[in-house]
């Protein structure tokens, strides 16, 4: 971990705390520059986040379009001046007096709320002072390679009832090469933005009339069904039983499940016959009711029950982001009921399923183990047992994992899968949650080998996480150029002139009859224009039909990104296409 004497050269950039120290110091440089240029700005907070940092400001009228360039230039002056970061401990009253005299109401609020017994520290760098726990670099002079990225609005403390602040995002790296590489990845990410590609490729659209509720177009729904079919095949092979439960359920159920006390602020409600009902934010309570429909024996276990269930969660408009953060989504959920001695094997089995599915898409991942949160329910012994079981499974599989203390679900600890895309970004998708609470609250039982009733253990898990998020991830991973088995349109047939339409139509129908997804382009355009259009639309294959092809029955085949593959018979082309689809070639 970086200490007070850290410099850019001595930092271990592989260490997360060292990176945070570097970027948090850059956030202070940003705030110092803003205060020089805009003395009326009031300071919020300025943490380091993954690959970046930000600082929030309360400034009358907000920042203008050219202000980021001015602020960045001023930051370079602060860096060149080489101010040391100086740490000072204060009493609470000294801190309150200091920030009241500076006219910094947000810092006063934070100082008042610091717990007793925790040292209150400030950091000075030149004429800038901030309430901060640190640590920081030795001097501003170490922060030479940085870039301000964007402006956004952010409610103070994330509460929409509190003032809207102006948030400036930036990034910083110890070398110019590392900064340039990151900025290149950001530009690549813009080209891969799933919101842009989704509209361009006709997959989905977003509308003000339903913020957070995506509209799926035909091609997007084809992609959805393909992913759904792959998911279903993999689960049927592993003995899962698929079910479906209602979207709207009585209020009482959510009291019983614990969601009323622990998750109510994220739920939508409606009245039916003057009785309050909830639109489900999770599928679990419905799965409990289905389980209770029958008597169960230990001989049935493990009982694996899967559901592609539509759920709704109330998200603030400021955090909505395309398909990655929405208000309704379909979870590829499953609930596994088992005896205590089956727990580790079932967790390992789920981990193997996740690996197989992610590998099919070429996705790499890392895992994180999250333990008991403050707002949890249940006994300490149950939580310790559940956490130990998850940890044992990770160790048995030889999986490296990061520990996230206090970040589990309110009913159990969990293993989260963070998928890494081709730009190095991570997305939390899969999760495995071990739960002793729901079986207790719903009085679930099974008959054991002794003929007595016992309480089952329950595993919640979702692999894609949400169909919407997973599709958004895949759009950006592949930059919209889906492998042939996933492409909504696999082949575009391109007649050169009107007289070739009949032959092109026959080829299209033969491919469709064989189970492929062709599209016929009969526009009155030159063939070069049609080929460029198919490339822009990221179609895997193009078939050009002219006089020679119409007369010979041979196809002139082009491959996306490769160009002309030459002539081949329709039978040979179908074999090539079929091989790619069956093998799910990437």
Query: Which CATH number do you get for residue 579?
Result: 3.40.50.800
CA–CA dist 429, 414 (Å, integer) = 12
Q: Give 488's contacts (C-beta < 8 A, 6+ positions apart).
A: 201, 203, 218, 219, 220, 222, 223, 482, 517
Q: Encode pLDDT of 128-142 as tens digits.
A: 999 999 999 999 999
Q: Where are the alpha helices (DSSP H) in 58-175?
A: 67-81, 92-101, 105-113
Half-sphere exposure at residue 502, Cβ-oriented, CA atoms within 13 angstroms: 4
Residues 178 and 201 in one domain: no
Beta bridge partners of 564: 558
**Could you confirm whether 421 is annotated as catalytic?**
no
Is position 360 within any domain?
Answer: yes
The single-letter DSSP state of residue 272 is E
Token couple for 329: 């989504």
Q: Which listed residue (52, 219, 235, 313) is catalytic?
A: 313
Determine which one of 132, 284, 429, 463 is catalytic. 284
What's the pLDDT tens digit per position in 456-497?
999 999 999 999 999 999 999 999 999 999 999 999 999 999
Same domain? 253 vs 129: no
User: Is the same domain home to 252 and 319?
Assistant: yes
Assess whether 464 and 534 both reside in one domain. no
Q: Is residue 298 part of a domain?
A: yes
Annotation says 331 is catalytic: yes
Cα 25 to Cα 48: distance, rounded to the nearest angstrom: 9
Examine the domain organization and report whether 576 and 442 are in the same domain.
no
In order of 32, 253, 549, the CA distances from 552 in angstroms are 74, 68, 5
201 Cβ contact partners less than 8 Å away, ≥ 6 residues apart: 219, 480, 488, 537, 538
Catalytic, 273? Answer no
- Kindly tell me the burial class for residue 196, based on how many C-beta atoms sit within 10 Å of its own C-beta (0-12, 13-18, 19 or more): middle
Mean pLDDT, the chain, whole residue set: 92
Examine the domain organization and report whether 457 and 349 are in the same domain: yes
Measured CA distances, 550 to 503, 545, 569 (Å): 6, 6, 12
Indicate if 465 and 500 belong to the same structural domain. no
Phi, psi of 226 (to 5 degrees): -65, -45
- 256 among known catalytic residues: no
The number of domains in the chain is 3
Please give the angle made by the CA atoms of 219, 222 and 228, to the nearest 5 degrees: 145
Distance of alpha carbon 228 from alpha carbon 366, whole angstroms:
24
Based on the fold, state whether residues 71 and 208 are members of the same structural domain.
no
- 91: in domain: yes
Please pick, among 28, 192, 194, 460, the residue that the annotation labels catalytic.
460
> Of residues 83, 107, 335, 560, which has the active-site annotation?
335
- Cα–Cα distance for residue pair 506/334, rounded to 1 Å: 44
Instruction: Please give the model's pTM, rounded to 2 decimal places.
Output: 0.80
300 and 428: one domain? yes
At 316-333, the pLDDT tens digits run 887 888 998 999 999 999
Where in 11-104 does DSSP place strands (E)?
42-43, 48-49, 52-58, 86-90
Kindly name the residue from 192, 259, 414, 538 that is annotated as catalytic. Answer: 414
Residue 305 resides in a domain: yes
pLDDT band at 10 (very low <50, low <70, confident <90, very high): low
Would you state the pLDDT for residue 409? 80
How far is C-alpha 263 from the geometric centre of its chain's CA atoms? 20
482 in any annotated domain: no
- Residue 512 forms part of a structural domain: yes
Query: Which of these three, 439, 474, 509, is where a domain ends?
Result: 474
CA atoms of 56 and 61, how far apart (whole Å) = 14
And the tokens for 61? Answer: 């009228």
pLDDT in tens, 259-298: 898 888 899 999 999 999 999 999 999 999 999 999 999 9
Chosen domain end from 474, 509, 526: 474
Could you tell me what percent of the chain has a pLDDT over 70?
98
d(CA 43, CA 130): 9
Same domain? 276 vs 403: yes
pLDDT range class, residue 585, cuts 50, 70, 90: confident
Place of tokens 């409990």: 288
Residue 474 main-chain phi, psi, to 5 deg: -65, -35
Residue 259 sits in the same domain as residue 224: yes
Tell me, what CATH number does 221's domain have?
Answer: 3.30.930.10
H helix or E strand, kind and range, residue 556: strand 555-559
Are 461 and 505 contained in the same domain? Answer: no
Residue 275 and residue 272: Cα distance in Å, rounded? 5
C-alpha 33/C-alpha 79 separation (Å) is 10
333 is catalytic: yes
Report the length, in residues, of the chain. Answer: 586
Model pLDDT for residues 417-453, shown as the tens digit of each residue: 999 876 777 888 999 998 888 899 999 999 999 999 9
Is 313 a catalytic site residue?
Answer: yes
Q: Domain end: 413, 441, 474, which one?
A: 474
Domain contains 187: no
CA 323 to chain centre: 9
Q: What is the CATH number of the domain that holds 145?
A: 3.30.980.10
Indicate the pLDDT class of residue 5, thresholds 50, 70 and 90: very low
Q: Please report whether residue 484 resides in a domain.
A: no
* CA gap 485, 359 in Å, rounded: 15
SS3 of residue 470 by DSSP: helix
Q: What is the C-alpha to C-alpha distance for residues 563 and 395, in angstroms, rounded to an integer? A: 48
Radius of gyration of the chain (CA): 29
Per the structure, the complete domain to which residue 128 belongs is given by 16-182
pLDDT at 7 (0 to 100): 46
Least confident of 118-127, 232-241, 505-514, 515-524: 118-127
> Is 493 in contact with 570 (CB distance < 8 Å)?
no
């Amino acid at each position: 971990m970086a200490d007070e004497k850290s410099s850019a050269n001595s930092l271990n950039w592989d260490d997360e705390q060292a990176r945070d120290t570097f970027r948090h110091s850059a956030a202070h440089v940003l705030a110092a520059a803003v205060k020089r240029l805009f003395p009326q700005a009031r300071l919020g907070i300025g943490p380091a986040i993954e690959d970046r940092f930000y600082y929030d400001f309360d400034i009358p009228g907000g920042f203008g379009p050219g202000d980021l360039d001015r602020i960045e230039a001023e930051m370079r002056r602060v860096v060149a001046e080489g101010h040391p970061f100086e740490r000072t401990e204060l009493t609470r009253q000294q801190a309150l007096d200091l920030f009241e005299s500076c006219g910094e109401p947000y810092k006063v609020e934070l100082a008042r709320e610091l717990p007793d017994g925790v040292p209150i520290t400030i950091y000075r760098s030149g004429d800038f002072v901030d309430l901060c726990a640190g640590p920081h670099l030795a001097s501003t002079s170490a922060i030479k390679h940085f870039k301000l990225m964007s402006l956004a609005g952010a409610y103070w403390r994330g509460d929409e009832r509190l003032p809207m602040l102006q948030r400036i995002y930036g990034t910083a790296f110890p070398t110019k090469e590392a900064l340039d590489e990151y900025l290149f990845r950001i530009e690549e990410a813009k080209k891969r933005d799933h919101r842009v590609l989704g509209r361009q490729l006709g997959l989905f659209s977003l509308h003000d009339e339903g913020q957070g509720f995506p509209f799926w177009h035909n091609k997007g729904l084809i992609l959805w069904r393909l992913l759904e079919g792959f998911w279903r095949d993999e689960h049927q092979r592993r003995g899962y039983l698929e079910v479906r439960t209602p979207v709207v359920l009585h209020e009482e159920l959510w009291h019983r499940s614990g969601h009323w006390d622990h998750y109510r602020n994220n739920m939508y409600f409606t009245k039916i016959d003057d009785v309050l009902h909830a639109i489900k934010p999770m599928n679990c309570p419905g799965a409990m009711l289905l389980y209770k429909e029958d008597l169960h024996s230990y001989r049935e276990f493990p009982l694996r029950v899967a559901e592609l269930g539509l759920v709704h969660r109330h998200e603030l408009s400021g955090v909505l982001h395309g398909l990655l953060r929405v208000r309704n989504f379909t979870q590829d959920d499953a609930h596994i009921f088992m005896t205590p001695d089956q727990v580790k094997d079932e967790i390992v089995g789920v981990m193997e399923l996740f690996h197989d599915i992610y590998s099919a898409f070429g996705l790499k991942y890392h895992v994180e183990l999250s333990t008991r949160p403050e707002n949890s329910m249940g006994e300490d012994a149950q939580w310790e047992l559940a956490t130990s079981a998850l940890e044992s499974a990770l160790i048995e599989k030889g999986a490296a994992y990061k520990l996230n203390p206090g970040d589990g679900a309110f009913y159990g600890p969990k293993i989260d899968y963070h998928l890494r895309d081709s730009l190095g970004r991570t997305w939390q998708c899969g999760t495995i949650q071990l739960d002793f609470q729901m079986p207790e609250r719903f009085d679930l039982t099974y008959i054991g080998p002794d003929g007595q009733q016992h309480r089952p253990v329950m595993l919640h898990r979702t692999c894609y996480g949400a169909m919407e998020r997973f599709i958004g991830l895949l759009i950006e991973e592949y930059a919209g150029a889906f492998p042939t088995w996933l492409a909504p349109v696999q082949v575009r047939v391109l007649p050169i002139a009107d007289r070739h339409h009949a032959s092109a139509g026959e080829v299209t129908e033969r491919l469709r009859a064989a189970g492929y997804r062709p599209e016929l382009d009969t526009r009155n355009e030159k063939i070069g224009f049609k080929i460029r259009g198919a490339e822009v639309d990221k179609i895997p294959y193009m078939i050009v039909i002219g006089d020679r092809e119409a007369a010979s029955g041979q196809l002139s085949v082009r491959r996306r990104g490769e160009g002309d593959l030459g002539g081949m018979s329709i039978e040979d082309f179908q074999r090539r296409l079929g091989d790619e689809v069956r093998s799910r070639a990437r």
